[in-house]
Amino acid sequence: MPTKKLLTGHKNHQNIFQDNKEQFLNLAKKGQKPKVLWIGCSDSRVIPNHIMGAEAGEIFVHRNIANIIPPSDSNEKCTWSVIEYAINVLNVRHIVICGHSECGGIKGLLNYSEDSTNSAIFNWLQYAAVAKEKVLSNVTNQSEQYIETVKENVLLQKEHLLSYDIIRSKYDSGDLSIHTWLYDLHTGQIKRYQAGKAEWVNLI
Ligand SMILES: [Zn+2]
């Protein structure tokens, strides 16, 4: 049963719907035409429409634990099916991969115990394991290892995304942009990875 607050929230939405009926009915009649696919974490604090100020119909969204994109040679097809639809049906030309600070998935990746190796989460997080290994072998300061793994994981998932032929082809021809972002829960700010300088800079 949803909490009372959510039920009140839905009541408010019905009022908003009535006040903006033409806009909402256009979405229903004409279909969606989002320009951006957002691949983010399931974390309840990182809500793409909130942090981007987007309306219904603007962002096509896939969220899972630790914003992971299993590579093309994996048997996981859930994430890929969303991407395939966004590319082939919606003709989306921008894909955002957004990690975030305080990500429980990445904390789990760094702290898992041998007892957890049979869990679904443990197996899922293995798609981020290369990021962890890279950070642990390059970053000796333990206090920096966590956030560096969050960042490295975003870049790793871009590599996974590019393992799909159609993505690689569209990316190389300039028909598709891939944005690697990091949302900071402490500041509400997004940083983007600037490949030329190999550093994370404020999005705006
Ligand atoms: Zn997360």
Interval 114-129: pLDDT, tens: 677 788 999 999 999 9
Residues annotated catalytic, as ranges: 41, 43, 45, 100, 103
CA-atom Rg of the chain in angstroms: 18
Q: Residue 114: its pLDDT value, please?
A: 67
Q: Residue 194: its pLDDT value, please?
A: 96
In the reported structure, the alpha carbon of residue 75 is separated from the centroid of ligand 1 by a whole-number distance in angstroms of 22
Residue 99 falls in which region: left (phi positive, over 0), alpha (psi -120 to 50) or beta: beta
Q: Which of 185, 180, 186 is nearest to 200 (CA)?
A: 180
In the reported structure, the alpha carbon of residue 41 is separated from the centroid of ligand 1 by a whole-number distance in angstroms of 5
In the reported structure, the alpha carbon of residue 139 is separated from the centroid of ligand 1 by a whole-number distance in angstroms of 21
In the reported structure, the alpha carbon of residue 29 is separated from the centroid of ligand 1 by a whole-number distance in angstroms of 35
Q: Residue 1: its pLDDT value, please?
A: 63
In the reported structure, the alpha carbon of residue 7 is separated from the centroid of ligand 1 by a whole-number distance in angstroms of 26
As given in the structure block, the two tokens for residue 13 are 């939405």
In the reported structure, the alpha carbon of residue 15 is separated from the centroid of ligand 1 by a whole-number distance in angstroms of 32
Q: Residue 183: its pLDDT value, please?
A: 98
C-alpha 204/C-alpha 190 separation (Å) is: 8
C-alpha 25/C-alpha 147 separation (Å) is: 43
Low-confidence ranges of the chain (pLDDT < 70): 1, 114
